[in-house]
A and B are shown apart, each in its own frame.
Chain A
Amino acid sequence: MSYLLSQLINGITLGGLYALVALGYTLVYGILLMINFAHSELFMAGGYVGLGVLKVLSDGAVATGPLAFMKPAQTFFNSGMLGFVALMAATFLISAVIVGLLGVLIERFAYRPLRHAPRLAPLISAIGVSIFLQNAVLLWVSSKQLPYSRADGTAFVTSHTLLKFGGVEITTMQVFIVVTSLLLLLFLDTFVARTRIGRAMRATSQDREAAGLMGVDINSVIALAFFIGPALGAVAGVFNGMYYGSVKYNMGFIPGIKSFTAAVVGGIGNLRGAMLGGFLLGIVESLAGGFLETGYKDVIAFIVLVLVLIFRPGGLLGEAVAEKV
C-alpha cells in the first residue's frame, strides 16, 4: 500500500510538470489552431535561464570579476527563509519573463508572417525554431549535461521531508511543484474566464476575423498567448532542473512529446483538460514503471493515449471552444 502511494506521489509530481508544459501547447492551439513544436525548447530554455539566474543570485563562484558586485545580494539570498523565498520568487519570475518574451519574439518573427499561409508552413517554421534553439544552446552554452547546482556541488534547493507516514514520504519539492502548477492553472483559468483580456482571447479563439472586426487587437491577444504559454513552460523547466538535477540542450524533446500527449488526452484547446491529461499521464507512467518494468513506462503511457483517442477522439474533456457554424 505504501509502495502504491509512493508511486502515486511520484506520478502526481511528474504530472504537475507535464501539466504546466501542456498548458502552453493547449493555449496556443486554442487560439491559433497551431501546434507550437518549439514549445519543448522553451521548456528547455526555461531550465537554462533558471540555472543562470540561480547561479548569479546564489553561487559564490560566479560572483567574481564583473559580477563581484553581486556578493552582498548573494549573502541575502543565501541566508534564512526570507532570502530563500526571495531567491525562488526572483528565479521563477525572471525565467518566466525572459522565456515569455522569447516566445513573443518567436511568434513575431517565425509564425506571424505565416499566419495566412497554408497550415503546414507554420508547423515547419516551428520545427525550424526548435532546431535553431537547440543548436543555439549547444553552441553558445554547452553541449554537456550541466548539473543544477552551485559550482561546489551544493543544490540550490534542498528538499526536505514534509510528511512521513508508514513508508511514504512527501518532500517539500514535490508539494512545491504540484501546488504551483495547480495555482497557475487556477490563475490562468480565472484569467481567461473572468477578465476582459480573457474574453478577448476567447473571442479570438472562436472567430479571429469577427473578433478583429469587433475591435479586439488580434495581434496583442496572440502575443499574450505566446507570452503566457512559454512562461509556464519556463516554470516547468526550472522545476525539472531542480527536481531531476540537470539540464541539457535536448532535454525538452521527450517531456515535450509527453506534454503534447497530455494536452491531446485532455482535449487540446481545453485548459483544464491539459491539466487533467498531465496528471493522468504522470500517474500512469509512474505506476507502469513501478509495477511493470521501468523500460515499459513510455509504452504504457502512449497506449493510454491511443485508447483515449479511440474512444474519445476529442480528448477527455473535449474542446471547450464552441463549434464554428
Chain B
Amino acid sequence: MTMGKARKYMAIVALLAAVALVVTGCGGSGSSAGGGATGAVKVTIGIGAPLTDGAVALGKGMVRGANLAITQANASQEVKDLGLTIASVEGDDKGDPTTGGNVATQFASNPTLVGVMGHLNSGVTRVAVKIYNQANIVQVSPANTAVDLTQMGMTNYFRVCANDAVQGPAGADYAFKTGGFKKAFVVDDSTPYGVGLADEWGKQFAADGGAVAGREKTSDKDTDFKSLVTKIKAAGIDIVYYGGIYNSGALLSKQLKEGGVNVPLMGGDGLFDPEYIKLAGAAIAKGDLATSVGLPTAQMPKGQDFIAAYKAAYPSDEIAAYDAYSFDAANAIIKAIVSVAKSMGADKVTTTEGKKAIIAAVAKTNFEGVSGTVSFDAHGDTTNKAITVYTVGADGAWAPVSK
C-alpha cells in the first residue's frame, strides 16, 4: 500500500473517531426551554440528570418536569415585568458520581447559572453538592433519598422528596404488616442510594419481627443474576427486596421468576417507573412492589392541573416518577429568583450576593406545589413525608395498593 493511500484511510479513521468524540460530547449538554427573549437579564437553571446512562427514563422525565415549570414562569407576567428570562441547561450525569462532578464544575463555571434542579442519584449529589456549595449555587433535588445528604452541613442543599429513613421503613412495614411476608432476602446495587435503602428496609423488617435470610451486593450495571437466583432459591424466602434502580431490578425480577423463585420483588422509588414493567415483562412483574415518595401524581393536590399542562406540553411522553417533583423543585428555585429580583433588582440576581440571597430564599420556601406544600426543615429536608406503596397490577401498570 502506498503512503498516500494510507494517509487517506488514516484521515477517514481520524474523522470517524472525531465524529464519535463530538457525538459523545454533545450527548451531554444542550439547552432548551425558555419562552423566547422576553427580558434583558438571563438567569439560568441547571438540570442535572442521567440522560444517556443510568435511569434514563427517570432523568428525561426530570428534564421535562423542570422545563415545564421554567416555560410557565417565562410566560408569567411577574417574570416579564422584572425583565428576567429564565433559561435552562441540561447536564448529563449518567447516574455516575465522576461524571456528575464534571457536570457540576461545568454548571459552576456558567456565569448566569444560579441554581440546579437535580440530581437523581444520591451518589452523584454527594460529589456535586460540594462544588455548588463553593460557588453559592442552590441545589434542589427532586429525588435524592440518601439520609446523610442533608446532614453534611451543605446549606445550599434542599430536597422535595422524603428520604430513605422514611421510605425504607415504610416499605418494610407494608411488607410485614399488610403484605404478610415473613422471610426476606435483601439485595442492593452497591450505590449509596441502593445500599442506604436496603439497609433501612432490612432494619425495619427485622424490627417488625421478620427474618432477613440473606444480604447480597450486586453492581448497578449487572445483567446476570443467575447465580444469585440459585442462592436466593436455596434460602427459601417469601419476598426479595432490591435497593437499586429499574434497569437491573427488572432483570433480577425476571431471572428470579424464570429460575422458579415465584415471590414478589420489592424496591424503592428507583423501580417505580413504567420502564421496569417493560423490561421485566408485565406477566413477570405482576405483584412486584415499590415504594415511592409522595402521592401518585394523579392524587396530588394539584395533580390533575399538572397532568393537563404536561400532556399539552409533551403529548407523546408518559409521566415518570419524578416529573411532578422536578416541577416543584424547579419552582422553588424560580420563586426564589423572583423574590431576589424583586428585592435586589434583576441585574443583581447572578452576583454572589444574589446567589446567597437565593439560597436563603429557598430555605424559606412555602408554596402549594403539585405534590403538596413545598417547604423545608432546618436541614433542607422536605416537610412533606408522604410515601405510597405501588404494585404492578394485572393490566401491567403500577397502581397504588389499597390499604
Partner of B17, one of A132, A143, A289: A132
A244 and B223 within 8 A (CB): yes
In Å, the complex CA distance between A13 and B19 comes to 38
> B52 — which chain A residues lie within 8 A by C-beta?
138, 143
CB of B128 within 8 Å of the partner chain: no
Q: How many A residues touch the partner, as a band?
A: 35 or more
> B12 — which chain A residues lie within 8 A by C-beta?
109, 113
> A11 — which chain B residues lie within 8 A by C-beta?
227
A109 and B230 within 8 A (CB): no
9-residue interface stretch from B1-9, B40-48, B310-318, B368-376: B1-9
A128-B16, A139-B23, A244-B251 given as contacts; is B10 within 8 A of A113 (CB)? Answer: yes
Partner of B216, one of A3, A287, A295: A295
A153-B283, A244-B255 given as contacts; is B224 within 8 A of A14 (CB)? Answer: yes
B24 and A154 within 8 A (CB): no
CB of A285 within 8 Å of the partner chain: yes
Closest to A287 in B: B227
9-residue interface stretch from B83-91, B130-138, B274-282: B274-282
CB of A159 within 8 Å of the partner chain: yes
A290 and B230 within 8 A (CB): yes
In Å, the complex CA distance between A169 and B24 comes to 44
Closest to B277 in A: A153
A294-B227, A295-B190 given as contacts; is B216 within 8 A of A139 (CB)? Answer: no
9-residue interface stretch from A144-152, A197-205, A269-277: A144-152
9-residue interface stretch from A187-195, A245-253, A304-312, A317-325: A245-253
Segment 1-35 of B: residues with Cβ below 8 Å from A: 1, 5-6, 8-10, 12-13, 16-17, 19-21, 23-24, 27
Scoring A residues 145 to 168 as 1 if CB is less than 8 Å from chain B, else 0, what string do you get? 101010011110001000000010
> A36 — which chain B residues lie within 8 A by C-beta?
none
B216 and A293 within 8 A (CB): yes
Partner of A286, one of B217, B227, B233, B396: B227
With both chains docked as a complex, state the minimum distance between the C-beta of B308 and any C-beta of chain A, in angstroms.
27
> B5 — which chain A residues lie within 8 A by C-beta?
113
> A102 — which chain B residues lie within 8 A by C-beta?
none
In Å, the complex CA distance between A13 and B219 comes to 20
Partner of B217, one of A125, A135, A293: A293
B226 and A14 within 8 A (CB): yes
CB of A53 within 8 Å of the partner chain: no
In Å, the complex CA distance between A285 and B222 comes to 13
In Å, the complex CA distance between A268 and B217 comes to 32
B10 and A135 within 8 A (CB): no
B228 and A289 within 8 A (CB): yes
Segment 262-314 of B: residues with Cβ below 8 Å from A: 275, 277-284
A110-B13, A113-B10, A135-B24 given as contacts; is B258 within 8 A of A159 (CB)? Answer: yes
Closest to A113 in B: B9
B231 and A290 within 8 A (CB): yes
Scoring A residues 103 to 142 as 1 if CB is less than 8 Å from chain B, else 0, what string do you get? 0000001101111110000000100110110010011000
A250 and B53 within 8 A (CB): yes
A113-B1, A295-B190 given as contacts; is B227 within 8 A of A10 (CB)? Answer: yes
A10 and B230 within 8 A (CB): yes
B56 and A10 within 8 A (CB): no
Scoring A residues 262 to 288 as 1 if CB is less than 8 Å from chain B, else 0, what string do you get? 000000000000000000000001110
9 contacts between A and B (CB under 8 A): A109-B16, A131-B20, A132-B19, A147-B278, A154-B283, A244-B255, A245-B280, A286-B227, A289-B228
> Which residues of A approach B to under 8 Å, CB–CB?
3, 6-7, 10-11, 13-14, 109-110, 112-117, 125, 128-129, 131-132, 135, 138-139, 143-145, 147, 149, 152-155, 159, 167, 169, 240, 244-246, 248, 250-251, 254, 285-287, 289-290, 293-295, 297-298
Given A3-B230, A10-B227, 12 more pairs with CB closer than 8 A: A7-B230, A109-B9, A128-B13, A144-B275, A147-B250, A147-B280, A153-B278, A244-B223, A245-B250, A246-B251, A286-B227, A290-B227
By Cβ-Cβ distance, the 7 closest A-B pairs, closest first, are A113-B9, A295-B217, A128-B17, A289-B227, A153-B281, A132-B20, A10-B226
